[in-house]
Amino acid sequence: MNSERVTHEFPPVFDGNSRVLILGTIPSPKSREFGFYYMHPQNRFWKMLCAVLNEEVPSNIKGRRELCLRHGIALWDVLESCDISGAEDSSIRNAVPNDLRLIIDNCPIRAVFTTGKKAHSLYLRHFPDLMPDICLPSTSPANRTISESAMLEEYRRIAEYL
């Protein structure tokens, strides 16, 4: 598959009450199509987050955005743009980071979580002087190396900072 230049086209989710920042790499093709985070129907992000928060998964983007804000969660991605093949994080090249200080400097962020090893490595490379991140397992449908119960145990760490 050929790579294409992808630019992040929708804004971060945050407000002045955001205490946790969750970062992916860059939106997948399905997320870009819908204009919101973790929108592939087989991605387990919303299932994990809602289990941590003891909430039902909202059926629409507005509900998902409100859920995050209600619980003090900011969502964004490490990258503003990159060359990528489909949704394959391992193919990322020519990465340009987002300006995460927009959130870090304007919110009482207690913890930064990255969703997957690639988001974690990109965060470390581009933001060595920001607060340390906590790397969570990728919720991508391509990641089947961890059971849902084990993944949920990892995602429960988010609640410690809310």
To which H or E segment does residue 94 belong? strand 88-97
* 86 contact partners, CB below 8 Å, separation of at least 6: 1, 28, 29
Token representation of residue 80: 């503003």
Q: Are 82 and 95 in contact (CB under 8 A)?
A: yes
Q: Is 43 a catalytic residue?
A: yes
- 22 closest CA partner among 5, 55, 51, 46: 46
Token representation of residue 6: 């992808």
Q: Are 134 and 119 in contact (CB under 8 A)?
A: no
Q: Which of 17, 43, 94, 98 is the catalytic position?
A: 43
Residues that are catalytic: 43
